[in-house]
Amino acid sequence: MTARIGVVTFPGTLDDRDTQRAVRVAGAEAVPLWHRDKDLKQVDAVVLPGGFSYGDYLRAGAISRFSPVMESVIEQAKAGMPVLGICNGFQVLTETHLLPGAMLRNNHLHFICRDQKLRVETNSTAWTADYEAGQEISIPLKNIDGRYVADERTLDLLEAEGRVAFRYLDVNPNGSLRDIAGITNEAGNVVGLMPHPEHAVEPLVGTGRTDGLGFFTSILKNLVGAR
């Protein structure tokens, strides 16, 4: 039996079908989860995909955070279930305070879509085990509210605890503090990042790279290995 990975759809979620595809390409089973359902259908892990849930109105992720499905996700995440937030999903995770800091409008104020180089700073999370620490990957970035901010103390703490999971290389595309592209919680089960690994799993589409596949194979290995 392979791992069951839940993919949440909020109203306005865009990359849910793409994320399901990435989960399948990695060899796991994708389980659609609906924002109104508290039931997580016995999944082993959850991905909060990208998009503009609730139109990103008020603040990105601010309204979705209060959905029934998030009640369960928060509870399970605290109990150790792996949760990955991609882009809008990352924004939701900061709004729920499962991850510290907040996401703000890009410093240049524009939506930006580009092939972005990152460094995977740590492979001791549930979602990065298949990478080498320090490995450089390129995956698409596309957002308008991608500027990561937190107060100095939080940033220092994140660095000290090795919880900066991904850093932008070459260009900082949005003014994120300390070039932070993604972070993890202390336990390493909850990870959020702005760029989109699910858009870099097939050589044919998008940028033609498959650098993002490691997220999904990591979790698969992690879960199947743990059984």
Residue 89 near another protein by CB under 8 A:
no
Question: By CB under 8 A, which span of 38-46, 57-65, 72-80, 179-187 interacts with another protein?
Answer: 57-65
* Binding flags for another protein, 185-224, as an x/- string (CB under 8 A): -----------x-xx--x-xxxx-----------------
Residue 145 near another protein by CB under 8 A:
no
Question: Shortest distance, CB of residue 89 to another protein, whole angstroms?
Answer: 14
Residue 178 near another protein by CB under 8 A:
no
Site residues (CB under 8 A) for another protein, limited to 5-34: 11-12, 14-15, 17-18, 21-22
Label each residue of 77-128 as H, E or C: HHCCCCEEEECHHHHHHHHCCCCCCEEECCCCCCCEEEEEEEEECCCCCCCC
User: Which residues are tagged catalytic?
Assistant: 87, 196, 198
> How far, in Å, are 29, 142, 183, 205 from residue 215 at the CA level?
15, 18, 14, 18
For strands 112-120 and 135-143, give the pairing: antiparallel
In the chain, what is the greatest distance between 2 CA atoms, to the nearest angstrom? 47
Q: Do 41 and 33 meet the contact criterion of CB atoms below 8 Å apart?
A: yes
Question: What's the distance, Cα to Cα, between the start and end of the chain in Å?
Answer: 10
Interacting residue with another protein among 56, 130, 179, 211 (CB under 8 A): 56
* Binding flags for another protein, 69-88, as an x/- string (CB under 8 A): --------------------
Residue 114 near another protein by CB under 8 A:
yes
Residues 6+ apart with CB under 8 A from 194: 87, 90, 103, 141, 143, 146, 148, 174, 176, 181, 182
Binding residues for another protein (CB under 8 A): 11-12, 14-15, 17-18, 21-22, 51-52, 54-59, 62-63, 66, 94-95, 100-102, 104-114, 140, 142, 144, 147, 149-151, 175, 196, 198-199, 202, 204-207
